[in-house]
Structure 1
Amino acid sequence: MRRRLISSTLAVVLVVIAVFGVSLVIVETRTISNSAQESVDSEALRLVSIVEPKVLERERVDAEALAEQIGPDRYALIRIPAAAPIEIGERPSGSVIRATATGEQGESVTVEESRATVTREVGRTLMIIGAVALLAVVAAVLLAVRQANRLASPLTDLAETAERLGSGDPRPRHRRYGVPELDRVADVLDSSAERIARMLTAERRLAADASHQLRTPLTALSMRLEEISVTDDPETVKEEATIALAQVERLTDVVQRLLTNSRDPRTGSAVAFDLDEVVKQQIEEWRPAYRSAGRAIVCSGKHGLQAVGTPGAVAQVLAALIENSLMHGGGTVALRTRVTGNQAVIEVTDEGPGVPADLGARIFERTISGRNSTGIGLAVARDLAEADGGRLELLQQQPPVFALFLSREARRLKDRTDRADRGDRADRSGEHERPIR
């Protein structure tokens, strides 16, 4: 592209020089020739005006005096009636410029000048025009190179940006080049890079959430299947199979919620449900794991509570808190239900060392973990709680107390969700991802 730009610019300049240069040479040549002819004519008339008074007064015409009146490169022939011709200067050879003037007494003056003088003047003019044309060509080449670099370098840079996008590097470069058309292309590429970055982030987040959220149900399901495989009691097989089917249904619900939240994290299908059933189901599901670890899991508090939310989502939130206590806590894990205002609260606590002081404010941020875990569970749990209009908080660090707040009134939940959709949707879309302990 650089070569084409330079060649095209140089071609335009050469055409312009050829058109205007030839015209200028022709005009200057004619101007110089006409000027030389006019000068010779003027010289002849001037000599006649000098000779004529002397002829009228019958005075002698002094050739030496007249020689001082003409140029050194010119020749003059003066003819006076009844007198010998007078020659001044050396007569030029070859082509000459000639002018003749005649006085009233019959005298005549012929002035000649060699055309070589005109040729030399034309040559000097051509050299000047040629030098100017050469400077114009050099300037045009430099300008073409600069312009070509100005246009070609941004295009090369944009091509590298597009190649980076194709290779999976969606970072925008935010470079601008001072050329509106190229800056427009750069804007589009940066916008595409940002969109691709958001898509990749959402895909990675979905993959991480799915792997984390599906791990526990799959583990529980495998444990049930192992129980079935090692027992010969039909009743036990039937009981374990029924529990396994229920876990498969919950697993399906987990997948559905992950897919739904990946499209819109606020599309919760909240309904009124019995909180005791969800708590009881989670305790039964996790009791074997705690028994294997030599620990206990118990529940207490107010019974018969009705809460508004998605039972599957609430179960996933409790599962994340219970698993968190199993991995990072110690002693007995207690689930306690209570009422505060118009909200039902489920608290999960254990007898472990608690949450480190430096992690307290960041415990729900994604990838934040006190030990070698994924740092995803609590972040996903908070998202699930907020999707149904609830909230998940750390009430106490030592011993750790996590609390899930759920509304007890469907109307109040709907009003809060509508306000959140109207006021927080833009902030939610740009919020940094929250990471687990």
Structure 2
Amino acid sequence: MRRRIVATTLLAALVAIGLFGIPLAVAVSQYYVTAERAELERAADGYALEVSADILRHRAPDQVPATEDPTFVAVYTPAGAQLAGAGPQTLDNADDAVRAGGVVVADTGDELVVLVPISDDGTVVALVRAATARTEVFQRTVLTWLGMAGLAAVALLSAYVVARRQARRLARPLERLSATARDLGDGDFSIRAGRAGIPEIDSVGESLDSTAVRLDDLLARERAFSADASHQLRTPLAGLRLQLEAALEDPETDLREVVLAGIGTTGRLDRTVTDLLALARDTPPVRDAAAVGEELAAIEQEWAPAFAGRGRSLVLTVEPAVADARLSGPVLRQIMTVLLDNAARHGGGTVTITVRDAGGALAVDVGDEGEGVESGTDVFSRRSPGAHGTGIGLALARRLAEAEGGRLRLGRLRPAVFTLLLPLEQ
């Protein structure tokens, strides 16, 4: 690219110099010819004044005045015979000069010639010829042309220097943009294009930065969806598998009930995937309004056996004033699944679910009798699922609550109590 910029600039400079220099060179040549003819005419006029008295008395001039070399001055009769001076012995174009009656330019191949008549009462009585070699004019013209060529060379050199600097100024940010785009294609979405101070290039850099941010956000959402889906689906799928395996081992199991239970579980899994996709894509989740009391009672029945198997109990308390309040059932189920799973894994003793009115919002307190949370621990930070005490679940639950316009916070450290605030359906 740099070579193309330099080559284009030099070509433009050459064209400009040619368009300006060639006519100027022709004008210079014509100027020197015209100036030399004017000089010859002045020399001829001066000599004519000096010898006119002798010519009018019909006497030959005694001598020719000295002139600057290489100008040659001579006086001729109207018939073309030389009377005095330096020049050819006969004047071939004397008749033309006599008929013209004025100054005549009579250039030959090698000389510039001017003829000035000497008149007596309108009659040409003599001709003064002044001449100089064309080589003198040509030498002066060539010297001027060489000076012009030198100036043209300086102009071209200046154009080359400016073109190199401009090419470097334009090429460097474009090369950086190319490297940035290459790194972006290799998966480095933290890369950012520098600013060059050139609006057009900076606009491309801003677009590239925006693309990197969007791609980084998209991949982060995809990774979050994968992790969230893995976390939220692992326990239900394990339960479904255990349920099916138990049905196979017990020949007296009512398969219809098992199938219906499995269909219910897969339906909940489908809603889970739908909610997680909506969260990952920043689209509003599907709202399936349900009564708080009924939804939490179903959740209690689902989780009570799991806690009983660990020698623990699950207690649900719902204030009558909010038992019939309606909110998004799938979202409540997803968040409660995270909180109860967290209590089962990291808590101890009896797990309590308390539902109360929080002044226009629904408050759900989930607590246990375990050791609680150490002071200064951010339980909502997103870490590896295998990390002790924190991980994907609580971070996901908080995001689900915020997506519904609610909040999830740690109300008490020891023993731990999580409080979920959700707006009620109108």
Q: Is the 8 A contact 2:295 2:329 kept in 1?
A: yes
Q: By how many angstroms is 1:57 displaced? A: 11
SS in 1 for 2:234: helix
Could you tell me which residue of structure 1 aligns to residue 244 of structure 2? Answer: 225
Could you tell me which residue of structure 1 aligns to residue 114 of structure 2? Answer: 99
Could you tell me which residue of structure 2 aligns to residue 434 of structure 1? Answer: none
SS in 2 for 1:296: coil
SS in 2 for 1:358: coil
Q: Is the 8 A contact 2:221 2:281 kept in 1?
A: no
- Residue 390 and residue 149 in structure 1: after superposition, are their counterparts in 2 closer, same or farther (change >3 A)? closer
Could you tell me which residue of structure 1 aligns to residue 95 of structure 2? Answer: none
Could you tell me which residue of structure 2 aligns to residue 247 of structure 1? Answer: 265
Between the aligned partners of 2:174 and 2:16, the Cα distance in structure 1 is: 29
Between the aligned partners of 2:85 and 2:173, the Cα distance in structure 1 is: 76
* Aligned counterpart in structure 2 of residue 282 of structure 1, from 299, 304, 310: 299
- Residue 388 and residue 195 in structure 1: after superposition, are their counterparts in 2 closer, same or farther (change >3 A)? closer
Between the aligned partners of 1:46 and 1:75, the Cα distance in structure 2 is: 13
- Residue 386 and residue 76 in structure 1: after superposition, are their counterparts in 2 closer, same or farther (change >3 A)? closer
Between the aligned partners of 1:373 and 1:255, the Cα distance in structure 2 is: 25
Q: Tell me whether 1:317 sits opposite 2:335 in the alignment.
A: yes
Between the aligned partners of 1:31 and 1:343, the Cα distance in structure 2 is: 100
Q: By how many angstroms is 1:116 displaced? A: 2.5
Q: Is the 8 A contact 1:308 1:406 kept in 2?
A: no
SS in 2 for 1:198: helix
Could you tell me which residue of structure 2 aligns to residue 137 of structure 1? Answer: 156
Q: Is the 8 A contact 1:309 1:389 kept in 2?
A: no
- Please identify, of 368-377 and 250-259, the stretch whose mean Cα deviation from structure 2 is larger: 368-377
Q: Tell me whether 1:377 sits opposite 2:393 in the alignment.
A: yes
Q: Is the 8 A contact 1:270 1:388 kept in 2?
A: no
Q: Is the 8 A contact 1:268 1:387 kept in 2?
A: no
Q: By how many angstroms is 1:320 displaced? A: 0.7
Between the aligned partners of 1:388 and 1:191, the Cα distance in structure 2 is: 28
Could you tell me which residue of structure 2 aligns to residue 327 of structure 1? Answer: 345
Q: By how many angstroms is 1:349 displaced? A: 1.4
Please show how residues 16-415 of structure 1 align to structure 2 within 5 Å: 16-52=16-52, 66-67=65-66, 70-77=67-74, 87=85, 95-103=110-118, 109-171=128-190, 173-177=192-196, 181-234=200-253, 243-275=261-293, 277-291=294-308, 294-302=310-318, 305-359=323-377, 362-367=378-383, 371-372=387-388, 375-407=391-423, 410-411=425-426
Between the aligned partners of 1:284 and 1:388, the Cα distance in structure 2 is: 25
Q: By how many angstroms is 1:238 displaced? A: 6.8
Q: Is the 8 A contact 1:228 1:241 kept in 2?
A: no
Between the aligned partners of 1:178 and 1:274, the Cα distance in structure 2 is: 59
Between the aligned partners of 1:117 and 1:213, the Cα distance in structure 2 is: 103
Q: State the one-letter code of the partner of 1:40.
A: L
- Please identify, of 15-24 and 39-48, the stretch whose mean Cα deviation from structure 2 is larger: 15-24
Q: By how many angstroms is 1:35 displaced? A: 0.9
1:295-352 deviations in Å (ceiling 9; x for gaps): 5133153465223213332222112112112333334333333444454433211233
Between the aligned partners of 1:178 and 1:385, the Cα distance in structure 2 is: 45
Q: State the one-letter code of the partner of 1:212.
A: H
1:234-280 deviations in Å (ceiling 9; x for gaps): 36x776665444333322221232233344454452524142x4444
- Residue 406 and residue 99 in structure 1: after superposition, are their counterparts in 2 closer, same or farther (change >3 A)? closer
For normalisation by structure 2, the TM-score amounts to 0.76
For normalisation by structure 1, the TM-score amounts to 0.74
Q: By how many angstroms is 1:127 displaced? A: 0.4
Q: By how many angstroms is 1:124 displaced? A: 0.3
Q: CA RMSD in A?
A: 4.0
1:38-90 deviations in Å (ceiling 9; x for gaps): 101101211332444688899998869x43xx32433344679xxx966589x
Between the aligned partners of 1:340 and 1:78, the Cα distance in structure 2 is: 130
SS in 1 for 2:380: coil
Between the aligned partners of 2:117 and 2:292, the Cα distance in structure 1 is: 136
SS in 1 for 2:372: coil
Q: By how many angstroms is 1:213 displaced? A: 1.2
Gaps of 5+ in 1: 412-437
Could you tell me which residue of structure 2 aligns to residue 426 of structure 1? Answer: none
Q: Is the 8 A contact 2:190 2:212 kept in 1?
A: yes
Q: By how many angstroms is 1:121 displaced? A: 0.3
- Residue 279 and residue 104 in structure 1: after superposition, are their counterparts in 2 closer, same or farther (change >3 A)? closer
SS in 2 for 1:211: helix
Q: By how many angstroms is 1:216 displaced? A: 1.9
Q: Is the 8 A contact 1:266 1:386 kept in 2?
A: no
Q: Which protein is richer in helix relative to its size?
A: 1
- Residue 45 and residue 371 in structure 1: after superposition, are their counterparts in 2 closer, same or farther (change >3 A)? same
